[in-house]
Structure 1
Amino acid sequence: APPSPRPPRGGVVFPGGARCPPPRPTDPLVALEPAAAAPADWEVAAVPEPEVYAKGVAAAVERMRRGEFDKVVLARSLELLSPEPLDLPSMLQRLARRDPDGYTFALPTAPGRTLLGASPELLVSRRGNRFTANPLAGSTPRSADLAEDVLRAATLLRSEKDLHEHGVVVDAVRRAMAPYCSELHVPERPTLVRTATMWHLSTTVTGVPADPDASALDVACALHPTPAVCGTPTGIARRVIRQTEPFDRGFFTGMVGWQDASGDGEWVVTIRCAEAEGRRLRLFAGAGVVGTSDPEAETAETAAKFRTFLDAVGAEL
């Protein structure tokens, strides 16, 4: 059965109306006490190495400054090998508890292979006479120090680079949803969403279906891939990704979700995820690169995004 509708996001409100969500302690996965991550001597291999990734970002920035394209999302992966069999149920519980307002998922993708993760990003949902999309773009790592954490959030809201990156994604979402909606509401400025490891700029786009038969999956297919996971223009960004990333993304940056017979459903972007097979985990993290991006900062952002899974399994970079 599909999950029950989510309550509206609430929580801490920042100056200007920015809002970050509270935990949802009623979620069954969150209510369960997970086993602590067992100490393990993980073997960790970066693909590509951080220095190589940074060079790829720098090359993309140079091409954007020459006017070839506007944005590309470049990813890297970590390959983890455990000396013990993987405890996937415990991993899933820890992911749900760390980000209780996220979208925690696990599903088989091949014999002996599982895709699991805790995505913060709703691609689109339909609940009766309402579509909702929640694109995220523009991010900064969280800090364990409260004052520094709030400062980073406030700085993100004023960052021209991140606001530009976010605006590119929101414009693309608006254009993709417009043919399916008789009414479309797009807020003028983004707000904030937080996870255990990151702050994200967030815009909630809502629309009224123009055709009652248009399903959540119809709109999800029209939206995918947004510039938040690929870039813009889409065709050029895809080519840059293929030229730069030395691995196959697989299900990373795809979409996962559900839909019922009436067309209601919920589809999320498969980020903050990993593929598990045998004693191996393959983690993924990406960063949106624009003409003003700094290669070291984008590399640090991917490292912070890896923490979602590294903390769940007790591993370190």
Structure 2
Amino acid sequence: MIDSPAPSFALCRPDRTVVAHGGGAVFRSAAEAAAALRSGRVGYVVGALPFAPGAPAALWAPRYVTISDDAHRPARPELPRFEFAAALPAPETHVRRVAEAIRVLADPAERLRKVVLARAVLARAERRVAPAELLDLLVATDPLGNGFRTELSAAGGAYRGRHLIGSSPEILVRRDGATVLSHPLAGSARRVPDDPATDRAAGRNLLGSAKDHHEHRFVVDHVGAVLRRLCGTVHVPDGPELTGTPEMWHLGTPITATGGPSALELAAALHPTPAICGTPTEDAARLIARLEGDRGFYAGAVGWCDAAGDGEWMVAIRCAELAADHRTLLAHAGGGIVAESDPAAELAETTGKFQRVLGPLGLADTPVPVS
């Protein structure tokens, strides 16, 4: 269970709950934090890595940490009513951005092979809401009990007082002793829970989609290459498997390895993967910056690491940033774009992904306003 007073960090997983309280030393980069762990100056580091690797991280050494082998299973809390405030950008603008990306991807003179484009929705609550309540809502509405919450104040500046809260299904990296796991997800289809036959067909279609297998392969190749460089034996399955969340089907590949550096160092080396950026990474990041601007901590990573090198880092997707006023919520959703992508389908995919956060708030399938 997550105890009181409210912790500054929590990572809820089906088989483990990690909670951190208070704060000491602050680290603005993964390298600085990893050095502090190696030296023994701190026993744990928790927090978030931003999407852009060079941007300030929100990492710190907590006062104390509790780790339980039990899942956090809260009762569903009653939250204040939320209303849509804006779509950032307007849906038709996102469609135009996707079309522009497809033109770049189809140009044989360009190196770019995949790019992930995202959009955001702004919502406001009628009264203040506690970050812990939002976490409990997301965990209570996820059958697997996935959820995370982290303060962002350690990043400084405008991030003071903000929180990143989400329910990510994607393991960037987990290290337990000599065992390393990364489970990238890429290639998605919206589920149809009210129609089991149609839902199963959507999963089968995703498994048979050449476009989605193409997109997924970029991620698997990247993760496999990084782990082969840093770890011992690496095992990459021959093909992806179908992975489900309440809202989406995904193609996922569990990649395992042995040995290697700490979970934090592995996370920094793997991030950003083609699942949330694209390939080649530098080209994709430049296009994202031009079309979207600064993503902040969306599509970064959230997790923890101890002085022994064990820890877990989740990709910061299916999440939202709660402003310092505790009323304003900015949620993001994105999708991988390849040359075969269809702009309208990509817009629909982001709409489905938004539901992991917006659905439990009572905003499921509500028309997104044009800003």
Same fold (TM over 0.5): yes
In the alignment, is residue 86 of structure 1 matched against residue 135 of structure 2? no
Counterpart code for 1:280: T
| Secondary structure of 2:321's aligned partner | strand
Contact 1:35 1:90 survives alignment (8 Å): yes
Displacement after TM superposition at 1:220 (Å)? 1.0
- What residue number does 1:286 align with? 334
CA distance in 2, matches of 1:300, 1:36: 29
CA distance in 2, matches of 1:174, 1:54: 32
1:47-88 CA-to-partner distances (Å, cap 9, x unmatched) read 111110011001111111113110000010011122221243
Displacement after TM superposition at 1:3 (Å)? 7.4
Displacement after TM superposition at 1:129 (Å)? 1.2
Displacement after TM superposition at 1:6 (Å)? 5.7
CA distance in 2, matches of 1:103, 1:58: 33
Contact 1:27 1:100 survives alignment (8 Å): no
Displacement after TM superposition at 1:38 (Å)? 4.1
- What residue number does 1:138 align with? 187
Indicate how the Cα distance of structure 1 residues 283 and 6 shifts in structure 2: closer, same or farther if over 3 A, else same: closer
Contact 1:102 1:120 survives alignment (8 Å): no
Counterpart code for 2:222: A
CA distance in 2, matches of 1:188, 1:79: 40
Q: Give the one of 303, 311, 327 matched to 1:265.
A: 311
Displacement after TM superposition at 1:271 (Å)? 0.5
CA distance in 1, matches of 2:80, 2:314: 30
Indicate how the Cα distance of structure 1 residues 314 and 3 shifts in structure 2: closer, same or farther if over 3 A, else same: closer
Counterpart code for 2:124: L
In the alignment, is residue 228 of structure 1 matched against residue 228 of structure 2? no
Alignment of 1:1-317 (within 5 A): 28-30=71-73, 32-40=74-82, 42-67=83-108, 68=110, 69-101=112-144, 103-110=146-153, 111-144=160-193, 145-209=195-259, 211=260, 214-245=261-292, 247-277=293-323, 278=325, 279-315=327-363, 316=366, 317=368
| Secondary structure of 2:356's aligned partner | helix
Indicate how the Cα distance of structure 1 residues 203 and 102 shifts in structure 2: closer, same or farther if over 3 A, else same: farther
Contact 2:241 2:253 survives alignment (8 Å): yes
TM-score scaled to structure 2, two decimals? Answer: 0.75
Displacement after TM superposition at 1:149 (Å)? 0.6
CA distance in 2, matches of 1:82, 1:5: 27
Q: How many residues align?
A: 294
CA distance in 2, matches of 1:207, 1:241: 31
CA distance in 2, matches of 1:306, 1:283: 7
Indicate how the Cα distance of structure 1 residues 2 and 73 shifts in structure 2: closer, same or farther if over 3 A, else same: closer
Displacement after TM superposition at 1:90 (Å)? 2.8
CA distance in 2, matches of 1:36, 1:143: 26
TM-score scaled to structure 1, two decimals? Answer: 0.88
CA distance in 1, matches of 2:340, 2:11: 41
Contact 1:115 1:274 survives alignment (8 Å): yes
Contact 1:91 1:312 survives alignment (8 Å): no
What percentage of residue pairs aligned between the two structures are identical? 43
CA distance in 2, matches of 1:114, 1:3: 13
Contact 1:57 1:295 survives alignment (8 Å): yes
| Secondary structure of 1:283's aligned partner | strand
| Secondary structure of 2:152's aligned partner | strand
| Secondary structure of 1:281's aligned partner | strand
| Secondary structure of 1:119's aligned partner | coil
| Secondary structure of 1:249's aligned partner | coil
Displacement after TM superposition at 1:113 (Å)? 1.2
Counterpart code for 2:77: A
